[in-house]
Structure 1
Amino acid sequence: MSKGFTTCLWFDGEVEAAAAYYVSVFKDGRIGRTAHYTDAVPDRAGEVLTVEFEVNGQKFVGLNGGPEFRFSEAISFQIHCDDQAEADRYYDTLVGDGGEESACGWVKDRFGVSWQVIPPGVIDLVTDADPGRAARATAAMLTMKRLDAAELRRAADAA
Protein backbone atom coordinates (compact mmCIF):
# COMPACT_ATOMS: atom_id res chain seq x y z
CA MET A 1 0.00 0.00 0.00
CA SER A 2 1.38 3.41 -0.96
CA LYS A 3 1.69 6.18 1.58
CA GLY A 4 1.01 9.81 1.02
CA PHE A 5 -1.23 11.57 -1.42
CA THR A 6 -1.17 12.10 -5.14
CA THR A 7 -2.70 15.36 -6.31
CA CYS A 8 -4.78 15.08 -9.48
CA LEU A 9 -4.85 18.20 -11.64
CA TRP A 10 -7.55 18.43 -14.33
CA PHE A 11 -6.51 19.99 -17.65
CA ASP A 12 -8.23 20.63 -20.94
CA GLY A 13 -5.88 19.10 -23.50
CA GLU A 14 -2.70 20.59 -21.98
CA VAL A 15 -1.57 17.83 -19.64
CA GLU A 16 1.65 16.96 -21.46
CA ALA A 17 2.72 20.60 -21.69
CA ALA A 18 1.79 21.18 -18.04
CA ALA A 19 3.75 18.18 -16.77
CA ALA A 20 6.81 19.19 -18.80
CA TYR A 21 6.49 22.76 -17.50
CA TYR A 22 6.29 21.78 -13.82
CA VAL A 23 9.20 19.37 -14.15
CA SER A 24 11.26 22.22 -15.65
CA VAL A 25 10.29 24.71 -12.90
CA PHE A 26 11.00 22.59 -9.83
CA LYS A 27 14.12 20.71 -8.77
CA ASP A 28 14.28 16.94 -8.95
CA GLY A 29 11.26 16.70 -11.23
CA ARG A 30 10.48 13.65 -13.30
CA ILE A 31 7.74 12.47 -15.59
CA GLY A 32 6.36 8.97 -15.03
CA ARG A 33 3.76 6.96 -16.89
CA THR A 34 1.55 8.34 -19.61
CA ALA A 35 -1.83 6.72 -20.31
CA HIS A 36 -4.01 7.20 -23.37
CA TYR A 37 -7.74 7.12 -23.91
CA THR A 38 -8.82 3.74 -25.29
CA ASP A 39 -11.56 2.78 -27.71
CA ALA A 40 -13.91 2.88 -24.70
CA VAL A 41 -14.05 6.63 -25.43
CA PRO A 42 -14.14 6.53 -29.24
CA ASP A 43 -14.04 10.29 -29.85
CA ARG A 44 -10.84 10.58 -27.76
CA ALA A 45 -9.16 7.21 -28.48
CA GLY A 46 -5.39 7.62 -28.65
CA GLU A 47 -5.30 11.04 -26.97
CA VAL A 48 -3.32 11.43 -23.77
CA LEU A 49 -5.52 10.71 -20.76
CA THR A 50 -3.05 11.09 -17.86
CA VAL A 51 0.57 11.94 -17.17
CA GLU A 52 2.16 11.07 -13.84
CA PHE A 53 4.87 13.43 -12.62
CA GLU A 54 6.70 14.33 -9.44
CA VAL A 55 8.22 17.64 -8.34
CA ASN A 56 9.81 18.55 -5.00
CA GLY A 57 8.85 15.10 -3.71
CA GLN A 58 5.13 15.70 -4.41
CA LYS A 59 3.34 13.21 -6.65
CA PHE A 60 0.86 14.48 -9.24
CA VAL A 61 -1.23 13.01 -11.98
CA GLY A 62 -2.38 15.35 -14.71
CA LEU A 63 -5.68 14.42 -16.33
CA ASN A 64 -6.84 15.60 -19.74
CA GLY A 65 -10.44 15.73 -18.62
CA GLY A 66 -11.84 18.44 -20.85
CA PRO A 67 -13.31 21.92 -20.38
CA GLU A 68 -15.86 21.09 -17.69
CA PHE A 69 -13.73 22.15 -14.70
CA ARG A 70 -11.28 25.00 -14.13
CA PHE A 71 -8.76 25.75 -11.41
CA SER A 72 -9.54 28.39 -8.80
CA GLU A 73 -7.70 30.07 -5.96
CA ALA A 74 -9.67 27.89 -3.54
CA ILE A 75 -6.79 25.42 -3.91
CA SER A 76 -3.17 26.54 -4.04
CA PHE A 77 0.28 25.10 -3.49
CA GLN A 78 2.67 26.76 -1.06
CA ILE A 79 6.32 26.95 -2.06
CA HIS A 80 8.44 27.45 1.06
CA CYS A 81 11.73 28.85 -0.23
CA ASP A 82 15.22 28.69 1.25
CA ASP A 83 16.03 32.34 0.49
CA GLN A 84 14.67 35.45 -1.22
CA ALA A 85 16.52 34.65 -4.46
CA GLU A 86 14.79 31.28 -4.70
CA ALA A 87 11.42 32.91 -3.97
CA ASP A 88 12.05 35.52 -6.68
CA ARG A 89 13.04 32.82 -9.17
CA TYR A 90 9.86 30.80 -8.58
CA TYR A 91 7.73 33.94 -8.62
CA ASP A 92 9.22 35.18 -11.90
CA THR A 93 9.05 31.75 -13.53
CA LEU A 94 5.43 31.09 -12.57
CA VAL A 95 4.25 34.57 -13.55
CA GLY A 96 6.27 34.56 -16.76
CA ASP A 97 4.97 33.10 -20.00
CA GLY A 98 1.32 33.83 -19.37
CA GLY A 99 0.99 33.61 -15.57
CA GLU A 100 -0.41 36.41 -13.45
CA GLU A 101 0.38 38.12 -10.18
CA SER A 102 -2.11 38.38 -7.38
CA ALA A 103 -1.57 39.63 -3.82
CA CYS A 104 0.50 38.51 -0.83
CA GLY A 105 2.83 36.24 -2.80
CA TRP A 106 0.08 34.43 -4.69
CA VAL A 107 0.53 33.80 -8.40
CA LYS A 108 -1.36 31.89 -11.02
CA ASP A 109 0.69 30.02 -13.61
CA ARG A 110 -0.16 29.88 -17.32
CA PHE A 111 -2.32 26.79 -16.75
CA GLY A 112 -4.40 28.52 -14.06
CA VAL A 113 -2.89 26.71 -11.05
CA SER A 114 -2.42 28.96 -7.99
CA TRP A 115 0.79 29.06 -5.97
CA GLN A 116 1.90 30.90 -2.85
CA VAL A 117 5.60 31.79 -3.07
CA ILE A 118 6.86 32.19 0.50
CA PRO A 119 10.35 33.46 1.34
CA PRO A 120 11.89 32.19 4.59
CA GLY A 121 10.68 33.77 7.82
CA VAL A 122 7.47 35.24 6.42
CA ILE A 123 5.14 32.84 8.23
CA ASP A 124 7.02 33.47 11.50
CA LEU A 125 6.63 37.24 11.06
CA VAL A 126 2.89 37.26 10.43
CA THR A 127 2.28 34.81 13.29
CA ASP A 128 4.72 36.43 15.74
CA ALA A 129 3.82 36.01 19.42
CA ASP A 130 4.03 39.81 19.72
CA PRO A 131 0.70 40.98 18.27
CA GLY A 132 2.16 44.34 17.28
CA ARG A 133 4.96 42.76 15.25
CA ALA A 134 2.52 40.35 13.61
CA ALA A 135 0.12 43.19 12.77
CA ARG A 136 2.87 45.38 11.26
CA ALA A 137 4.22 42.49 9.19
CA THR A 138 0.73 41.52 8.04
CA ALA A 139 -0.15 45.12 7.13
CA ALA A 140 3.03 45.35 5.04
CA MET A 141 2.33 41.98 3.42
CA LEU A 142 -1.13 43.13 2.37
CA THR A 143 0.46 45.90 0.27
CA MET A 144 2.72 43.49 -1.64
CA LYS A 145 2.30 41.30 -4.64
CA ARG A 146 5.74 39.63 -4.47
CA LEU A 147 6.70 38.99 -0.84
CA ASP A 148 9.92 40.68 0.28
CA ALA A 149 11.11 39.06 3.52
CA ALA A 150 13.57 41.87 4.36
CA GLU A 151 10.87 44.52 3.96
CA LEU A 152 8.47 42.50 6.09
CA ARG A 153 11.13 42.22 8.83
CA ARG A 154 11.69 46.00 8.70
CA ALA A 155 7.95 46.58 8.99
CA ALA A 156 7.62 44.13 11.88
CA ASP A 157 10.52 45.77 13.74
CA ALA A 158 9.26 49.34 13.24
CA ALA A 159 7.67 50.67 16.39
Structure 2
Amino acid sequence: MQRIAKITPCLWFHRDAEEAAQFYVGVFPESRITAISRYGEAGREFHGKEPGEVLTVAFELCGQSFTILNGSQAFPFTAAISFQVSCETQDEIDYYWDRLGEGGDEAARQCGWLADKYGMSWQIVPSMIAELLDSSQPERVNRVMAALMPMKKLDIAALRQAWAG
Protein backbone atom coordinates (compact mmCIF):
# COMPACT_ATOMS: atom_id res chain seq x y z
CA MET A 1 0.00 0.00 0.00
CA GLN A 2 1.29 3.45 -0.94
CA ARG A 3 1.91 5.91 1.88
CA ILE A 4 -0.17 9.10 1.53
CA ALA A 5 1.59 12.35 2.43
CA LYS A 6 0.05 14.44 5.21
CA ILE A 7 0.05 17.51 2.95
CA THR A 8 -0.06 17.22 -0.84
CA PRO A 9 -0.37 20.25 -3.13
CA CYS A 10 -3.27 19.79 -5.54
CA LEU A 11 -2.91 21.74 -8.77
CA TRP A 12 -6.13 22.60 -10.63
CA PHE A 13 -5.71 22.27 -14.37
CA HIS A 14 -8.27 22.53 -17.15
CA ARG A 15 -7.34 19.43 -19.14
CA ASP A 16 -3.57 18.82 -19.25
CA ALA A 17 -3.07 16.87 -16.00
CA GLU A 18 -1.44 13.78 -17.45
CA GLU A 19 0.72 15.71 -19.94
CA ALA A 20 1.88 18.12 -17.22
CA ALA A 21 2.68 15.33 -14.76
CA GLN A 22 4.72 13.55 -17.44
CA PHE A 23 6.56 16.81 -18.12
CA TYR A 24 7.36 17.44 -14.45
CA VAL A 25 8.58 13.91 -13.72
CA GLY A 26 10.75 14.19 -16.84
CA VAL A 27 12.40 17.34 -15.47
CA PHE A 28 13.13 16.23 -11.90
CA PRO A 29 15.29 13.21 -11.06
CA GLU A 30 13.92 10.56 -8.73
CA SER A 31 10.35 11.42 -9.71
CA ARG A 32 7.42 9.28 -10.82
CA ILE A 33 3.72 9.12 -11.53
CA THR A 34 2.08 7.06 -8.80
CA ALA A 35 -1.59 6.92 -9.86
CA ILE A 36 -4.06 8.10 -12.48
CA SER A 37 -7.82 8.22 -11.88
CA ARG A 38 -10.47 8.81 -14.51
CA TYR A 39 -13.91 10.37 -14.62
CA GLY A 40 -16.87 8.01 -14.73
CA GLU A 41 -20.48 8.60 -15.62
CA ALA A 42 -21.40 9.71 -12.08
CA GLY A 43 -21.53 13.48 -11.63
CA ARG A 44 -21.20 14.19 -15.34
CA GLU A 45 -24.01 16.75 -15.12
CA PHE A 46 -21.75 18.76 -12.78
CA HIS A 47 -18.25 18.25 -14.15
CA GLY A 48 -19.10 17.87 -17.85
CA LYS A 49 -16.20 15.49 -18.50
CA GLU A 50 -16.44 12.42 -20.70
CA PRO A 51 -16.16 9.05 -18.95
CA GLY A 52 -12.55 7.90 -19.21
CA GLU A 53 -11.02 11.41 -19.23
CA VAL A 54 -8.26 11.90 -16.66
CA LEU A 55 -9.60 13.15 -13.33
CA THR A 56 -6.40 13.22 -11.26
CA VAL A 57 -2.75 12.33 -11.60
CA ALA A 58 -0.76 11.66 -8.43
CA PHE A 59 3.00 12.00 -8.74
CA GLU A 60 6.18 12.64 -6.79
CA LEU A 61 8.92 15.14 -7.54
CA CYS A 62 12.10 14.44 -5.56
CA GLY A 63 10.01 12.75 -2.84
CA GLN A 64 7.34 15.49 -2.62
CA SER A 65 3.80 14.31 -3.41
CA PHE A 66 1.60 16.30 -5.79
CA THR A 67 -1.81 15.83 -7.38
CA ILE A 68 -3.08 17.44 -10.55
CA LEU A 69 -6.84 17.65 -10.99
CA ASN A 70 -8.42 18.16 -14.41
CA GLY A 71 -11.23 20.50 -13.42
CA SER A 72 -12.13 23.48 -15.58
CA GLN A 73 -10.81 26.90 -16.53
CA ALA A 74 -12.44 28.39 -13.43
CA PHE A 75 -9.24 28.73 -11.38
CA PRO A 76 -6.15 29.83 -13.35
CA PHE A 77 -2.70 29.84 -11.76
CA THR A 78 -1.15 33.05 -10.47
CA ALA A 79 2.36 33.86 -9.23
CA ALA A 80 0.89 34.10 -5.72
CA ILE A 81 1.72 30.38 -5.43
CA SER A 82 5.05 29.08 -6.63
CA PHE A 83 7.41 26.18 -6.03
CA GLN A 84 11.01 26.86 -5.04
CA VAL A 85 13.72 24.70 -6.56
CA SER A 86 16.87 24.88 -4.43
CA CYS A 87 20.02 24.53 -6.53
CA GLU A 88 23.58 23.87 -5.38
CA THR A 89 25.35 24.98 -8.57
CA GLN A 90 24.93 27.34 -11.51
CA ASP A 91 24.66 24.32 -13.79
CA GLU A 92 21.68 23.14 -11.76
CA ILE A 93 20.07 26.60 -11.94
CA ASP A 94 20.66 26.63 -15.70
CA TYR A 95 19.12 23.14 -16.10
CA TYR A 96 15.90 23.87 -14.20
CA TRP A 97 15.59 27.36 -15.68
CA ASP A 98 15.86 26.01 -19.20
CA ARG A 99 13.71 22.91 -18.73
CA LEU A 100 10.89 24.44 -16.70
CA GLY A 101 10.91 27.69 -18.66
CA GLU A 102 10.69 26.04 -22.08
CA GLY A 103 7.48 27.27 -23.70
CA GLY A 104 6.57 29.39 -20.68
CA ASP A 105 5.70 33.05 -20.36
CA GLU A 106 8.85 35.11 -21.06
CA ALA A 107 7.28 38.18 -19.42
CA ALA A 108 6.95 36.31 -16.11
CA ARG A 109 10.72 35.84 -15.74
CA GLN A 110 12.19 37.99 -13.01
CA CYS A 111 14.42 37.52 -9.96
CA GLY A 112 14.67 33.74 -10.40
CA TRP A 113 10.91 33.33 -11.02
CA LEU A 114 9.43 31.82 -14.16
CA ALA A 115 6.09 30.51 -15.34
CA ASP A 116 6.15 27.19 -17.17
CA LYS A 117 4.10 26.32 -20.24
CA TYR A 118 1.17 25.33 -18.00
CA GLY A 119 1.22 28.64 -16.10
CA MET A 120 2.72 27.22 -12.89
CA SER A 121 5.22 29.56 -11.20
CA TRP A 122 8.64 28.33 -10.12
CA GLN A 123 11.48 29.99 -8.24
CA ILE A 124 14.88 28.66 -9.32
CA VAL A 125 17.17 29.76 -6.50
CA PRO A 126 20.62 29.00 -5.13
CA SER A 127 20.53 26.87 -1.98
CA MET A 128 22.45 29.59 -0.11
CA ILE A 129 19.84 32.28 -0.79
CA ALA A 130 18.86 32.51 2.90
CA GLU A 131 22.52 33.11 3.82
CA LEU A 132 22.82 35.80 1.15
CA LEU A 133 19.70 37.55 2.48
CA ASP A 134 20.56 37.25 6.20
CA SER A 135 18.95 40.37 7.69
CA SER A 136 21.57 40.58 10.44
CA GLN A 137 23.93 41.88 7.73
CA PRO A 138 21.95 44.73 6.13
CA GLU A 139 24.81 46.16 4.07
CA ARG A 140 25.40 42.79 2.42
CA VAL A 141 21.67 42.25 1.90
CA ASN A 142 21.38 45.63 0.18
CA ARG A 143 24.21 44.73 -2.21
CA VAL A 144 22.71 41.30 -2.93
CA MET A 145 19.25 42.78 -3.54
CA ALA A 146 20.71 45.43 -5.85
CA ALA A 147 22.36 42.64 -7.87
CA LEU A 148 19.39 40.25 -7.72
CA MET A 149 16.50 42.55 -8.65
CA PRO A 150 17.47 43.18 -12.31
CA MET A 151 18.32 39.50 -12.92
CA LYS A 152 15.98 37.15 -14.67
CA LYS A 153 17.83 33.84 -14.15
CA LEU A 154 19.89 34.07 -10.96
CA ASP A 155 23.67 34.11 -11.26
CA ILE A 156 25.33 32.55 -8.21
CA ALA A 157 28.77 34.07 -8.89
CA ALA A 158 27.34 37.59 -9.24
CA LEU A 159 25.26 37.20 -6.07
CA ARG A 160 28.27 35.93 -4.11
CA GLN A 161 30.36 38.82 -5.44
CA ALA A 162 27.70 41.31 -4.35
CA TRP A 163 27.55 39.68 -0.90
CA ALA A 164 31.35 39.87 -0.54
CA GLY A 165 31.39 43.51 -1.59
**8 Å Cα contact 2:77/2:120 also seen in 1:** yes
Q: Matches of residues 115-126 of structure 1 in structure 2 within 5 Å?
A: 115-126=122-133
CA–CA separation in structure 1 for the residues paired with 2:101 and 2:158:
21
Q: Does 1:70 align with 2:76?
A: yes
- Correspondence for 1:145: 152
Two-structure CA RMSD over aligned residues (Å): 1.6
- 2:37 matched to which residue of 1? 35
**SS of 2:117's equivalent?**
coil
The Cα offsets for residues 60-83 of structure 1, whole Å up to 9 and x where unpaired, read as 111000111101000000101121
State the match for 1:48 in structure 2.
Answer: 54
Q: Which amino acid aligns with 1:12?
A: H
Residue identity over aligned pairs, in percent, reads: 44
1:23 pairs with 2:25: yes
Contact 2:5–2:65 (CA under 8 A) maintained in structure 1: no
Could you tell me which runs of 5 or more consecutive residues in structure 1 were left unpaired when the two chains were aligned: none
